[in-house]
Structures are given as structure tokens and as C-alpha cells.
Chains A and B, each alone.
Chain A
Amino acid sequence: MSANAINRETVRDAFSTLLTTALVGDGLPVTAVYNYPFEVSTTKVSPVVVVASSGTARRAIGIGDTRKYDNYFILEVFTFIRDADTTAGWTEAKVEDNLDLIDKRIADVVLDNRVNANWNDIGFSLDPEAIPDPSQIVSDTERGYKLEMRKVYVKKIDT
């Protein structure tokens, strides 16, 4: 039987769908979740979350001719939020509150979906025992936005 390693796209799309359900909609903090990277600074809509592929590690498992992997997928999750906008009535406090709320909601999605049909584990570090790397927030005052970047690690064992 030939190998059939899982495609990283399956995992990225599934995680994006979960984020869309949890973050986008009436009264929810995000306007759109995209499952692909693009030049977010060009969008007039805010806040936006982007999920991008960021790397893979695969370790062959089993003995003999077993053609399966432990797959470790790394996803990059970007939260893009525009600076305060007087016309929109969007204050500095609102920007910061939303950035924090989105961070919390992403954390909730990860914990609520530790295991599902698409993966065997998900978290903010590759090694579950390690202290995760913190997310990073970049402010672009010239173009008027903040960008929070974090990595999400997904483990999927080939079936």
C-alpha cells in the first residue's frame, strides 16, 4: 500500500473554520477569518484573522513497511486590527479590548478542540511540556494597525 500522508491544507482549513465559527458573526469580535495570507494592511475592514501554513515536521512511525507518519503542522495565526478611527467611533480602548478578546477566543478554540477528526492534539507549543513562545504584537503607526502573530502546533497521526 502506498503512503498517503495528510495534507497540511486539511488541517489549516479545519482550524480556520473553527475560528470562523467562534469569532465571526453578529456580536462577535472579528469581521472575517481568511485561511490564506494576503496583504492585510490593504483591507479597510477590521479586525481580521488570517491562518497561514508555517511549517511541517514528519516522523515515520511503526516498523517494517508501515507507511505512516506522526505529522506536526505549524500554523501561523495573525490578528490584524486597525488603529483608532474617529469617524468609525473606534477608540484606542476598543482596539486594545478587541485585540485581547480575540486572543482569548483563539485560546478557547484551541482548548475546546484538543482532539477531533482532523488532529490528535493542538496547542501553542510543539512540546506539550515546554513553556510556549508568547505571541508577538507589532504596531505599524505609519499605516495605522496592530498585528498579533502566534503559532499554533497541530499533531496528526496518519491512520
Chain B
Amino acid sequence: MKKTTRLQAGLLVLLLALPAAGRTHRLFSSAADSATDQRQTRTMRLVRILITSDQMVTITTESAISDAVSYISGERYVVVIPQAVVAGVNSDLASRFFTNLQIDQRGEDVAISFLLKPGSVGRLEPKSNGLSVVFAASDRLTSQNTGGAVRGEPAAFSTAGPAPSDSVNETPAVAPAPKLDMPAPVNGLPNSAAAPAPQPGGLSALLNNLFPGASDKVTADTTNVDLSVPESPAFTVLGFTPNTVIRPGSPKAFASSLLSGLDQNGNFQSGLAFDFTPFMLINGENITIKDYNEHYLTRLLSRTQFSFASTKGASADDTATRLAAGLNITLWDKGDPRVYHPQRGDDDVLQCFANSLQLPPIIAPNTPQADIDKINAGNKATNDTVADACRDRARKANWNRSSWVFAYAPSWISKAGDTNGYKWNGGAVWTSVAYGFEGISSLERIAQLIFHARYRSRERAPDPLNAGTFLTQNSTFFGARFRAGSPKFGLNFEDSFIRTRILGGTTDTINRFSVGAEARISNNLYFVISSGGNLGADNGQKGFVLTSFKYGFNPKSQFNPQP
């Protein structure tokens, strides 16, 4: 009962806390979004920090800083400037509003934090060559700047215009000069790409009080169960990751070659690995995209994929030969890029191709072949870039479309390695149904619900009680996941039912769940909160067990479901 109450309290905190975390101030949010998209092409900015008066710190660079963010962490006011390095710091003045200035290089971003004196607050003001951090007593700036921010959590600062000039006290300061801390990078690496650890008090204290065992790790993880159907089931069921997979596109290319790799037990294996779509292989020249769009059977057959794997142990300890066949069928897929949806505009890859791909200049008859090749190669180079952009856009727009995939893979083993001694060695079946909330405008672009089921027989799994040994087990898995989010906010619920029967041993049934959410604070900073646990019998325990509750800051998005 106590644990159930604690869970309810935790969920309540989750719901209350995350919107606050998500309110973190961006100086210019729209510009910041576009800046995020442009990160890959931008160069690092050199910023200089100058304490110009006791209530103002100026951060200068070549141009305006439009993508800085600020938040409160404990007693510190933190300003993060993406894609920047500090070129210099000048501190001759003291401040009545903060006693310590700390500069951290977090990967490609600079974080400048100020240890605020009690009753002090800060805010950002844009400048033509950077920005200013303006400090004042909280009663002067609270009404327009703090936005009800709670100390200890990422804070929401108002973006509404610069403060009136009289909000800054021009009286010379008498406080001691702030101490400058510039931690040196360790081994040449950036000084912790992660965010500052939550400070005592505020959200951290609240969470710690509610969940004494909570983990405030810098990186918070959840179970993140794999609910996908393997593309090449034969390789999966053998636990084999071949170095090379033959994917012939034509009968002529359907040739074999020896492959090698390591199996899941670390044994070196040699063998064959094929992966092919028979219908395309045999009949591809006759499959037009119109046929594909108009006939379900053509789509079904065109995406039905076979895989085949054969491995043979290459060491004296393992002379067995294993075979597996695999079948992967996409029963339907509303995100199939070959299906034409002109109403989606450029979010449909085919419509984007139609709008964007360019034909080459007119080539006259009897033009020398070398000239034709040159023209066509130049045109291909241009179109390759365009086509990649189309696919990328369509993938992002259609990431959550509904689909249903099924896969099956039987396997056999010959322990002596001869061709006459093959015996059944178990198999696996998988299916995943994804629902993309099509037609529900508030969800269809941000959410996805996935149901997944799989059964594996004679699966080799590490023995948790005896390191280095393996058990043979049959397992049944049902799982579901709801994901919703955007680059700014992510939410993830997972629940899975697992029944495992060790051959010649015990049967175990457990229900695992996890819930997590994240909010983007800056480009490389995500506040993450997650919890997980087991329900049911697990190693003899009954009832609900909350096995983890974590919160922290991640440098990368963990729950944003969008590609």
C-alpha cells in the first residue's frame, strides 16, 4: 500500500514537474528552433565574457546570440550558449548579485553559471554582438522575469522584452570580486558534456524526499525494450551477426560467398548469409510502381523477404553446423515510401521526387557517349542530394505510420557437423502492430502505439546464477509501448509480459513496466525522469516492485520518437 501511494505520488510529481522543466527560457524560441536545425553546418563561435558592472555580464561574439538558453539549477543561474568556445574572460568588478562565476565547456556548448546571492535573479538581454546577463534583486525582476521559477529546477524566464532601464541599479558595487572557476578539460576531452548535476533543493530535493532511493544519475535510462521485428530473422534466431550479408538484386547476383563472424557465445563461426526478396529477384523488371500501388498482392510479395543463414563452428570446442531460414512479411504499412500519397505534399517521398528531381539538359542524338555520361553523372550528383533530402523529410513526417509486420525463423543443428544429422533446434516467431493515430490531428504526427509479440523456443541465454554458462529456454513475450513527443518533449510508456521456461528447470512469469519523460532544456541538454518496475512473480517475489526511479540530465534525446 505504501509503495502504491509512493508510485501515485511519483506520477503526480512527474506530471507537475515536467511542464515546469519544459518552460525553460529560450531567448528567441523561433530562431532557436531553426538554429537547432542548422547546427550541423555552423561553426564554433568565439565568445568573450566581460563583467561590465556589478549587475551586468556581457557575452560578446561576432553577431547576436539568438539561441542561448538560461535556467536555474540550485542556487546557480546558468546560461548555455550552443556551438561556442570561450576566447576570454575579463573580471575586474565585483557584483552584489552573484559570488561565483563558473564556465564549463559542454561538448560544443558553453555553460556559464553564476552562484546567485540570496534574493538575486538574472535574465538575458539580446545585443547586436552577443547578449547581456542582467542581474537584479528579485523584487525588481520577479514580476517580469522569473515566471514563477522554482529554484533547483530548470527555470522559466520571461521572454517579454528587455527590462526597463530603471530595473538595473547603477550604484557601484562594494561586494567582493566574484571568483572565476574554469575547469580544465580532462585528457583533452570536453569537461562533461552532460548538464550540471541537480543542485540540492528545488525539484531535486522534492524528488529525493519523495523517493529516498531515487537515482539522480546524470544519465537516466529506461528499459527501452526492443519491439521490432528483425529484418533478417534467420540471423537473429542463430544469434549470428554476419560480417557480410549477400543481398542479391538480380538472379545473376544470386551468388554465394563464404562469410565469417562471431555468434552470441563469442565463438567464431563461418558460413553463409543470404537476404533477398524472391518476387523482386525473379520479377523485378516487371513490377512498376503503379502495379505496386494498385495491387495489394504485389506489395505483399514485393516486401516479403527471405533470409538464410548457415554457420559452422570453426573451433575444436564447437564443430556443430547450424541452419536457419527466415521469413519477414509486411502485411500492411501506411508509411510505405513506394505508396503514393500526393495529398501529403513533400512529406510523401514520391511527391517530393516529382517536385524536386531534375532532368538533365536536352541531349541531341548521336552525342558522344563520353559527353552523355558526363552530363548524366553531373545530374545524378545533384539529384542524389535532393533525393536524400526527400527521403529524410518523408521519414520524419511518416515515422509513426501504422503497420503490421510478421516474421518467422526455424532453425536446425547438426552437432557432428555432418549433413545427415540435422535436428530441430528451435525457432522464433515475431509480430509487431504499430498504430499511428491517423486521422486524429492532435496525435497523428507525434504519437505511436506499438504492440509486439514473440515466441522463441530453445533459446540460448546466459545463466544468471552461473557466469559463463548458458541455459536453454522457451520464452513468450508480449509488449506494448506508447511514445509521443517532439524534439522538445518526449513521453514513453512501456509494459511487457514475459514468460520464460527453462528446459528442465523452472518457469518464471513477470510483468515489467517503465514510464519516462524528457524535456529539452537546450540543444545538448535534456531533463529526463523515468521509473520502472516489475509486477507479478519474479524470482519468488509477489506483488508490485518499484525497481528504479531515476532522474537526471542527458546530453542527447532519449525519448523523442521522431527520427
- Bind each other: no
Which residues of B are interface residues toward A (Cβ below 8 A)? none
Q: Which residues of A contact B (CB under 8 A)?
A: none
